[in-house]
Amino acid sequence: MWPLAKRLERHGFETRLYTYFTLGPSNRRHGERFAEQLRRVAPKYERVHVVAHSMGSIVTRCALQEALPENFGRVVMIGPPNRGSHIATRVSPLFGWLSPTLRELRDTPDSFVNQLPAIPVGREVGVLAAAKDHLVLEPSTHVAGERDHRVIGGWHESSLWRRQTAEQVAHFLRTGVFQAE
């Protein structure tokens, strides 16, 4: 996320990176902790937006179910496994014991991500899917209640390093929609 954060700073945004141990507790617990962090930092800012990548988008969806600060703004999810990942489904029988969060990212109808509620009414969420993402296929990035959705160039990780990604994120954070292609 660091390269994207630096590009967003050049677009006039102040950025803070939030990290968590991906092999740790459930996405729900990560979301609770993230919501706590948002409540702590929010008084320092006029408006607080979130830009999340991959599983961080699921953590953010969990945080959206919690009490958030009044100045909470918009969310952009990049490469989110909102409907799960076929790769997580394949590898969770082998490595699921190591990571509860991996099991939660399966693309099966009964998985954790597919049981999460839609985006809460009034929250503005934009989704960017990477054109060459083989970890999270484009149809799996959609989420009920998304305000806008675009496919951008790059792979799952490399999409974070592209100028186009930063431009789309900045535009959505300012306007609530992505730029027309």
104: exposed, middle or buried (Cβ count in 10 Å: 0-12, 13-18, 19+)? buried
Contact 154, 136 (CB under 8 A): no
pTM of the model: 0.95
Per-residue burial over 10-33, b if 16 or more Cβ lie within 10 Å, else e, is: eeebeeeebebeeeeebbbebbbb
pLDDT value for 92: 87
Question: Quick one: 2-175 is in which CATH superfamily?
Answer: Alpha/Beta hydrolase fold, catalytic domain (3.40.50.1820)
Amino acid at 46: E
Give the lowest-confidence range in 47-61, 86-100, 105-119, 139-153.
Answer: 86-100
pLDDT digits (tens, 9 = 90+) for 134-155: 999 999 999 999 999 999 999 9
